[in-house]
């Protein structure tokens, strides 16, 4: 009978320990060197001093309030640095060689924003690990849309400093960190809504939209307008750019493979008629 009671007692104690372990708060795993920040919830434990155990939130001031020692500024410190700061204050006035344990029970949520020419602009949370780069941030916003200027991605830091990157730089090997409070602005291409005009002996005369990247050469423009008519003189194609006229021999350019002649917004291209 005594053995049975002992076995029951052991089982009961085992279930009690398991229940307490399940109810105990679990510390959030963080990478080495991760810094504490505003709104983090931290738990303080001092070995042999159960009455000092407390859970507290880091305030906007960067301080957390602990028993006896009051408000301590720990935002911006690593967990190890915060432990040293708290241990020093307890040792200075209250305890002899205190053994302090500080853990993060919950990470305060922080955000960055992406606006402009992306598919899903908005505000997004910084990952729990506290690290995200520009490429991943843009991907979080759905990536650049078809109107984006891939050469002008402005990263506005929370401290007021701005930097401009290209999509190639963002997607390259160098990691460009995005921090809490940062704003990413993807500029719209300056060529959106811009056109050139084709007149004369092309099959589809009229305005032609500029591509978003602004790279449109004369041969491609004429092809987009349906090509030359049977009456066209490809040796006499004029480009009127703000009143300054340039004559081109497009037939020769095509046959020789010369360097493309790139057009600019508002150019007026006129293909002359040939005379028999």
- Which sequence spans correspond to the domains of the chain? 28-106, 111-188, 195-273
Residue 143 predicted with pLDDT over 80: yes
Distance CA 274, CA 250 (A): 14
pLDDT digits (tens, 9 = 90+) for 75-116: 999 999 999 999 999 999 899 999 999 999 988 888 999 999
User: Which string of b and e fits 128-159 if b means at least 16 CB within 10 Å?
Assistant: eebebebbebbbbbeebbebbbbbbbebbeee
Identify the CATH assignment for 28-106 out of 3.40.1010.10, 3.40.640.10, 3.40.309.10, 3.30.1950.10.
3.30.1950.10
Q: What homologous superfamily is domain 195-273 in, according to CATH? A: Outer membrane lipoprotein wza domain like (3.10.560.10)
Of 187, 157, 191, 151, the residue nearest 171 (C-alpha): 151
Task: Confirm or reject CATH 3.10.560.10 for domain 111-188, answering yes or no.
Answer: yes
Distance CA 228, CA 235 (A): 11
Determine if the pTM surpasses 0.75: no
**pLDDT band at residue 29 under the 50/70/90 scheme:** low
Does this chain's domain 28-106 share its CATH topology with 111-188? no
pLDDT of 173: 72
pLDDT digits (tens, 9 = 90+) for 158-205: 888 999 999 999 988 778 999 888 999 999 999 999 999 999 999 999
> Angle at Cα 221 formed by Cα 217 and Cα 225, nearest 5°?
175
């Amino acid at each position: 009978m005594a053995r049975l009671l002992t076995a029951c007692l052991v089982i009961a104690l085992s279930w009690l320990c398991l229940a307490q372990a399940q109810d105990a708060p679990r510390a959030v795993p963080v990478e080495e060197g991760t810094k504490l920040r505003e709104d983090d919830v931290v738990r303080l434990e001092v070995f042999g001093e159960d009455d000092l155990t407390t859970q507290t939130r880091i305030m906007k001031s960067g301080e957390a309030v602990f028993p006896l020692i009051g408000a301590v500024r720990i935002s911006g410190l690593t967990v190890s640095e915060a432990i040293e700061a708290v241990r020093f204050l307890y040792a200075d006035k209250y305890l002899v060689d205190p053994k302090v344990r500080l853990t993060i029970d919950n990470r305060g949520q922080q955000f960055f924003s992406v606006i402009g020419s992306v598919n899903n602009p908005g505000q997004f949370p910084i990952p729990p690990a506290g690290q995200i780069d520009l490429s991943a941030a843009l991907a979080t916003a759905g990536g650049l849309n078809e109107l984006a200027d891939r050469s002008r991605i402005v990263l506005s830091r929370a401290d007021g400093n701005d930097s401009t990157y290209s999509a190639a730089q963002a997607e390259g090997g160098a990691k460009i960190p995005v921090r809490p409070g940062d704003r990413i602005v993807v500029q719209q291409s300056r060529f959106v809504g811009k056109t050139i005009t084709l007149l004369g002996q092309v099959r589809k005369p009229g305005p032609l939209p500029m591509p978003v990247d602004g790279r449109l050469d004369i041969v491609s423009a004429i092809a987009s307008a349906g090509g030359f008519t049977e009456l066209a003189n490809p040796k006499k194609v004029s480009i009127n750019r703000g009143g300054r006229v340039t004559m081109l021999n497009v037939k020769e350019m095509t046959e020789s493979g010369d360097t493309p002649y790139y057009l600019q917004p508002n150019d007026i291209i006129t293909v002359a008629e040939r005379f028999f």
